[in-house]
């Protein structure tokens, strides 16, 4: 399957769509999920175009995991939470709603998660939560 460069995350990477940025480096971008499953729900995406994990290069995969680890630490600190869900869905059948590989980082418990891709979060609250996370990134 070929990569759809018109997906929303590709547009975010090109600056054609907005996001509430939490972290960025040369290889990855982390931003708030606009339809959060919990307060602090953050997404990490590679800058490399890839639909799912098996399409991603090893170097990009390593960069993603480094960023995921960094954000998990910051989110745990920001929310004083010992539980953090890290989730990565591959393919529509698995629940992937955007055809660009991404990792979900959600503070809390799987039992407290809201439905996936259901309701939009309040943009002001998302910006506030982003700042809280940014302040804890080392």
Catalytic residue among 41, 102, 104, 111: 102
SS (H, E, C) the chain: CCCCCCCHHHHHHHCCCCCCEEEECCCEEEEECCCCCCCCCEEEEECCCCCCHHHCCHHHHHHHHHHHHHHHHHHHHHHCCCCEEEECCCCHHHCCCCCCCCEEEEECCHHHCCCCCCCCCCHHHHHHHHHHHHCCCC
- 41 included as an active-site residue: no
Active site residues: 102
């Amino acid at each position: 399957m070929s990569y759809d460069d018109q997906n929303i995350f590709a547009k975010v990477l090109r600056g054609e769509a907005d996001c509430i940025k939490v972290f960025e480096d040369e290889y990855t971008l982390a931003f708030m999920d606009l339809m959060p499953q919990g307060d602090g729900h953050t997404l990490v995406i590679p800058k490399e175009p890839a639909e799912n994990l098996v399409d991603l290069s090893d170097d990009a995969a390593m960069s993603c995991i480094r960023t995921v680890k960094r954000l998990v630490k910051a989110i745990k600190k920001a929310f004083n939470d010992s539980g953090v869900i890290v989730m990565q869905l591959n393919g529509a059948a698995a629940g992937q709603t955007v055809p660009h590989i991404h990792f979900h980082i959600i503070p809390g418990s799987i039992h407290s998660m809201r439905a996936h891709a259901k309701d939009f979060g309040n943009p002001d609250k998302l910006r506030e939560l982003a700042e809280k996370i940014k302040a804890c990134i080392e």
